[in-house]
Amino acid sequence: MNLLATIGASLSARVDRAGYVLNLLVRAVGYLPRLGRRWRFLLDTAFNAGVRSLPVTMVVAAFAGAILAMQTGIELRRFGDTAVLGTITALSMCREMGPFITAVILAATVGSSIAAELGTMQVSDEIAALEVMSVDPVDYLVLPRVVAMAIMCPTLTVLSNLVGIYGGSVIAEHNLGVSSSLYWLSAREALTSSATLLPKEVYVGLLKAVVFGIAIATVSCAAGLRASGGALGVGLAVQAAVRNSVILIIVLGFIVTWFFYFLAG
Amino acid sequence: MIELQDVHKRLGGRQILDGLTLSVPQGMTFVLMGPSGTGKSVTLKHIIGILRPDSGSVQVDGQEVPRMDRAQLMALRKRMGYLFQNGALINWLSVAANVALPLQEHSKLGKGEVDDRVHEVLRLVGMDHAAKQMPPDISGGMKLRAGLARALVTNPEYVLYDEPNAGLDPIISQQIHELIVEVRDRLGVTSLIVTHSRACAVHCGDRIGVLEHGRIAVQGTVAEMTHSDHPLARAFLGGGAD
Ligand SMILES: Nc1ncnc2c1ncn2[C@@H]1O[C@H](COP(=O)(O)OP(=O)(O)OP(=O)(O)O)[C@@H](O)[C@H]1O
Ligand SMILES: [Mg+2]
């Protein structure tokens, strides 16, 4: 009985938190028509987010591409079919790995700093001060961050994809005996020959990146706005922001792939 | 007129307000004193609708604050200035930009008019020289004065002051007290001041109340309170207090 009550309470707290995050996103979207007034701040936020996470993202992307090439290369070598290595690396980088690693790095760098910033504002009454001045924190603080991340995450993802494919080419040439020209030829073919403007792998990956960016920003803003209890509370908010972002990245990534490749065909 | 009737509020598992009743008539200044952590700041936050009571009534001009919708709350807040404990300045905005914020977001004033008004208020609190500085680079007392300027910039009818002279030297303290009195006398502002300072209470207050265990333990006019035998009145306002 006691156990049930505990599980029930923890579940209802979770539902409550999820409701808060969704509500925050809906309210932020409601302010979209007035975003024009915040464009300067938005550009600042987007630029800072990009610059801050660019170096780490690129290093990780290069290694991720290399790992991808090794993993598939080991199997392909057994069938003597390493010619398609460029194709496979390029497509899986664009569909899964690029958006995923970019989002995880953004969660750790930008998500955590959003939570710390808004959390500090919450515990020092700055959020209350905005409300008292009838400035809605959702309009003033949340919306520009959500939009900045919705722009920055796909932008960085494109770079991650390119660097990742390059990382794969190094392994292909040095360890798997695939000539660099063959690798790049098959990669380019996979990413350009398509009936639609962009191949499915690329647009699904970019859509994912947009969804991840929005999710990270919203979850991190929510964690910050709900912080309480001084510096310790801010620490807990940062922890919650990163943890919840990473969980959402994985779950939403699964849902998007499943939707486009299994549900909608 | 600000009126709180039998307000109860639990926060963090503790009963903070427990039957608080207090009223501030139009044009008057009520000083709220009391030990640290008794809920003085919490009381002010109820009046401006940041916190809602668990039970009891909080009224401004006869209107029930906790029942206001967003538009009504915004309308109320436009008529109210609030000095937060420690100022609560927005960190990435300069002092002047902080003070300009309430004007920019809602009034139809042009940039020149906003600038003029901002510098006028900054001069009043003696912060004109620091207009361009950023909050992390200024002292606690300066933050407080910038917060005070931000609370007064819209010419509010009501002002809630949370420790307006904490950490200020005696000379600036005295100037702030005079400013509070002037704002009351010249603009007819109704206000509530939270303070630990006897000088501030005696200089600025019309009535003084001491909060303990979530309600007003003793209250009266300044003269009544300074001569009261009540132990709390003596502790906060007696000869030994400062
Ligand atoms: N949002 C909150 N959540 C939980 N507890 C809170 C919250 N706000 C205030 N409290 C608690 O309520 C009590 C009263 O806080 P309040 O800030 O009103 O004290 P105060 O009388 O202003 O004290 P001080 O003179 O130190 O400023 C404190 O114990 C504080 O920890
Ligand atoms: Mg206080």
Q: How far is the CA of A222 from the centre of ligand 1 (A)?
A: 22
**Which one is the CATH code of B1-39+57-79+157-222+233-242: 3.60.110.10, 3.40.50.300, 3.40.50.2000, 1.10.760.10?**
3.40.50.300
Specify if A9 maps to a domain: no
3-state secondary structure of A4: helix
Specify if A28 maps to a domain: no
Which residue on chain B is closest to A122 by alpha carbon?
B88
Specify if A182 maps to a domain: yes
Handedness of CA A37, A40, A43, A46 (dihedral sign): negative
Residues of B in contact with A121 (CB under 8 A): 90-91
More confident residue, A11 or A256: A256
Specify if A33 maps to a domain: no
B16 lines ligand 1 (CB under 6 A): yes
- What is the number of alpha carbons within 13 Å of residue A228 lying toward its C-beta? 4
Specify if A214 maps to a domain: yes
Tell me the domain boundaries of chain B: 1-39+57-79+157-222+233-242, 89-155
Task: Report the residue from A124, A133, A229 with minimal CB separation from B105.
Answer: A133
Rounded Cα–Cα distance for residues A159 and A64 (Å):
13
Q: Whose alpha carbon is nearest atom 29 of ligand 1?
A: B37
Q: Quick one: what percent of chain B has pLDDT higher than 90? A: 70
* Confidence tier at A182 by pLDDT (50, 70, 90): very high
Residue appearing with tokens 């792939």: A257
In angstroms, the Cα distances linking B171 to A233, B32, B143 are 37, 23, 17
At A110 the pLDDT is 96
At A252 the pLDDT is 95
- Indicate whether A198 pLDDT > 60: yes
Q: What range does the domain containing A51 cover? A: 38-263
- Indicate whether B22 pLDDT > 70: yes
- Indicate whether B107 pLDDT > 70: yes
Cβ contact A107:A246 at 8 Å: yes
Q: Do A132 and B78 touch (CB under 8 A)?
A: no
A6-65 residue pLDDT tens: 888 888 888 888 888 899 999 999 898 888 888 888 898 899 889 989 999 999 999 999
Q: Whose alpha carbon is nearest atom 19 of ligand 1?
A: B37
* Confidence tier at B110 by pLDDT (50, 70, 90): confident
At A177 the pLDDT is 87
At A115 the pLDDT is 97
At B238 the pLDDT is 76
Specify if A1 maps to a domain: no
B11 lines ligand 1 (CB under 6 A): yes
- Indicate whether B41 pLDDT > 90: yes
Q: Give the CA dihedral B164, B166, B171, B177, nearest 10 degrees.
A: 20
Rounded Cα–Cα distance for residues A25 and A40 (Å):
21
* Confidence tier at A265 by pLDDT (50, 70, 90): low
At B53 the pLDDT is 96
A84-138 residue pLDDT tens: 899 999 999 999 999 999 999 999 999 999 999 999 999 999 999 999 998 899 9
Specify if A26 maps to a domain: no
A182 CB-near residues (< 8 Å, 6+ apart): A83, A86
Which residue on chain A is closest to B89 by alpha carbon?
A126
Q: How many domains does chain A have?
A: 1
Specify if A17 maps to a domain: no
